[in-house]
């Protein structure tokens, strides 16, 4: 049986990270997705679509969704991209929508909860919220791709970050670009 993964997409630039994550999870996981209204707007602007028929879509307003409960078993949750607003809500246990409620439940159940932050520069408030979320059990990642694998294009940069996410979810993948030392 394929693992079950929850993917949240919040309102920050970087929809390609979410899109490539979903592409690499296709056929390897049962994916439950929550897209915020602002995420949908940004996705339209960045020309990224999330209309996959194999995704199980949950409305961000549906707090009665199965993913809102700790009894919903899954192998982890990723919020990609994760806005500073969403980071703040997760860090402080503020759960006004399904995205933040699902993250809160994931943390309380001590399952992997990966926040892929997409902001630069960072204020002290952002850094404190990252530390608070980390201390609650979240894995803080930044959309900061490596260059040592000499990517040919933007997709290669994005996939290097997605590979790290998949690694932390224990999802087998064939994305190249692992560090192997200097030639």
Query: Domain for residue 112, yes or no?
Result: yes
Query: Domain for residue 68, yes or no?
Result: yes
Query: Domain for residue 179, yes or no?
Result: no
Output the pLDDT for position 177.
78
Query: Domain for residue 177, yes or no?
Result: no
Query: Domain for residue 30, yes or no?
Result: yes
Q: Please give the residue range of the domain that contains residue 101.
A: 4-81+89-122+137-168
CATH assignment of the domain containing 75: 3.40.50.1950
Number of domains in the chain: 1
Output the pLDDT for position 179.
84
Output the pLDDT for position 115.
98
Write the secondary structure of 128-181 as one string of H (helix), E (strand) and C (coil).
Answer: HHHHHHHHCCCEEEECCCCCCCCCCCHHHHHHHHHHHHHHHCCCCCCCCCCCCC
Residues of the chain below pLDDT 50 = none
Contacts of 106 (CB under 8 A, 6+ apart): 6, 74, 76, 77, 112, 113
pTM of full prediction above 0.75: yes
Interatomic CA distance for residues 90 and 144, integer angstroms: 21
pLDDT tens digits, 53-63: 899 999 999 99
Query: Domain for residue 96, yes or no?
Result: yes
Backbone phi, then psi, for 113, in 5-degree steps? -130, 105
Output the pLDDT for position 93.
98
Query: Domain for residue 98, yes or no?
Result: yes
Output the pLDDT for position 29.
97
Query: Domain for residue 176, yes or no?
Result: no
């Amino acid at each position: 049986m394929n693992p079950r993964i929850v993917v949240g997409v919040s309102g920050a630039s970087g929809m390609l990270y979410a899109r490539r994550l979903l592409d690499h999870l296709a056929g390897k996981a049962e994916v439950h997705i929550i897209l915020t209204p602002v995420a949908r707007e940004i996705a339209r602007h960045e020309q990224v679509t999330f209309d996959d028929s194999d995704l199980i879509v949950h409305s961000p307003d549906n707090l009665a969704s199965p993913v809102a409960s700790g009894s919903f078993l899954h192998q982890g949750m990723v919020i990609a991209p994760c806005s500073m607003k969403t980071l703040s809500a997760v860090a402080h246990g503020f759960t006004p929508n399904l995205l933040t409620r699902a993250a809160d439940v994931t943390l309380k159940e001590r399952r992997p909860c990966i926040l892929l932050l997409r902001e630069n520069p960072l204020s002290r408030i952002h850094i404190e919220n990252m530390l608070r979320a980390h201390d609650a059990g979240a894995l803080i990642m930044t959309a900061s791709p490596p260059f040592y694998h000499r990517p040919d294009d933007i997709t290669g940069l994005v996939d290097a970050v997605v590979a790290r996410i998949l690694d932390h979810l224990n999802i087998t993948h064939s994305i190249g670009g692992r560090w192997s030392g200097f030639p």
